[in-house]
Structure 1
């Protein structure tokens, strides 16, 4: 069956996005059963716009969602409250090239910049007809709210929305508009040229498009941390996903609450690490929360961590930030062979606090993340062992000095006492 260029780009969202987004029950916990399955998608480019939005309304309004008070499993794992005293993403701009980001959600109010809309000229990227981009942005930057446990990893980061899709998957069928590969590339360039520090690409193309490849190279050259989804077609043969497969891009796979790779999460050399992507809680457009699954939703956990690092360690360039993120991962279960988990499971706290890794002043080539790169986990382990050796040697030196002092005192004190502490050869009084 022939497919239009737009569809080629956003097999993108239909696939990368994720499998099932379900509306939660009125005010139940994050684990409640949902009705209304749907999947999300999204990308965007360049004109100033009215925040009210003169662009046409959504063809298919999303079902309303209610706030969820329970703490989601990913948040229990990462405890953003431990990160907040160190960094909150303040001063960092994260571009979310997706389905738009609804700035009206209470947890995103004041955090969403005026962006662009490649689907509807005149839009500013803040209309989300799929819910995907809003959810992705909330995992990065949702603000704490009374009575709501859910919050983003980097709640003070600024979100720059670029709308490129409104595609959804309902009852197994793709529906909704998407942009062409060329416009997707334009969206990336627009975000980079408007000051993005981190680029969140929760979308997947299954073709190596020259324009997109060049746009990613442009982002890397401009010192932007680029994070992309590894794709959800593991059971369909793991077709090579782009932009995740490009050099200089952090490719992210998905795990569930048990820490095991989600069945849909693709495997291959393009997976640099994994993050929560199963049964993930996120903000829904306007208000409330939804749960969803997909590598799309694992990406913002990594992008949020990059935002924290860009605030906490501003002297690091993008390649060094990426290096710290992969070098500080937790061990993954089972055999890492075959690219199921990359180097391990994202650990934002260790990425910020671990000693070593990402030293300033080094080279920042995209090849730092190429397939033939040295294993960052091994490098980090070696750095930690070197630090431990230095400490051990220092302690040994101190211990030796103390022992020598004790021996000296043991010899000198008795003699001094016999002489009543007079120097040798001094006449007594």
Structure 2
């Protein structure tokens, strides 16, 4: 994506789209990281010349470098089964403030061979290293690892030592850094520019792009995953928060993204794949008219791996004594109403645990285009849902870069610019 940012507006243009297709090799699911890097270079070439570049991507997964700076194997995908046997947390909540997910970085590292590793770089930092030669750990993504101390705002060194992880692999935590592109990279894309640190966890960038006024809002960053929560000035590390499985992740400008990870549109995406990718809009129209009482728990472990999702929904309904959806329209309705109810629970818990009142829900990301999901979410929460922008992460990424160049001001200014630049739609809750 390229962005043209001024004091009056921000405009995005999609310059290049490329596949992100995981590959299973000898039973292990990997990211095809070299293909992704080539797609990044192709996109930079098409978008250039750019005054600066910022990278955001998913959290948790990482690449390991040896002492010569070479990658030791393709990064393993978090949906791989290597952490399936991990059922109890090994990172104390009062230190990391992180929601327990069996595929968190701390758990993946416990399953990895680290004897040859000199440096661990999370995915956006790995791509940035190949562009610039600089090794760093951008703060918002470092905070998702289960190895970050949310109070000290540094790596949790005592925990790292207790787990027997080599301290050498953890690069300096950084935010706001800038590095020039390597000469060979500049020659390949046809111009020289700098890489600016943004919220490299895509949700951190997406929260910057939430077009909120004031602080009484909840956000749902909805794509393959849904991140549901509120923005706070400090973490919530209570036992109640731990039991509710809420996470405290670093946001831009010292904020805390207090949220719960909820499975997102992954379940629907896998159903569409199994159904040979039928057009979505007619299915959504049919689902809006369909009726089913079936409700699933989107976070049930059976829905995490790739596979026959319609069959898993039917199996879940059988296990829980429900009548399974009878056709595709009912299946889609079941998925979306289940997500809306999961969002309602997460928003209510965030308000209860943080003490932060919420008057509106902002739903950003790809899910904001799904009118049925937005309306069901408004109905479930009893709050207005403001849908959009779709490309919140790209907007937040671009705005943080623009601020570094003095074009825009603080978070409130950036969000005001998003409101003035984007077409938003509000869904009011319907009486039940």
Q: Same fold (TM over 0.5)?
A: no
- More strand by proportion, 1 or 2? 2
- For the aligned pair, the TM-score class normalised by the smaller chain equals under 0.3
Between Structure 1 and Structure 2, whose CA radius of gyration is higher?
1
Question: TM-score, with normalisation over the residues of structure 1?
Answer: 0.27
Question: TM-score, with normalisation over the residues of structure 2?
Answer: 0.27
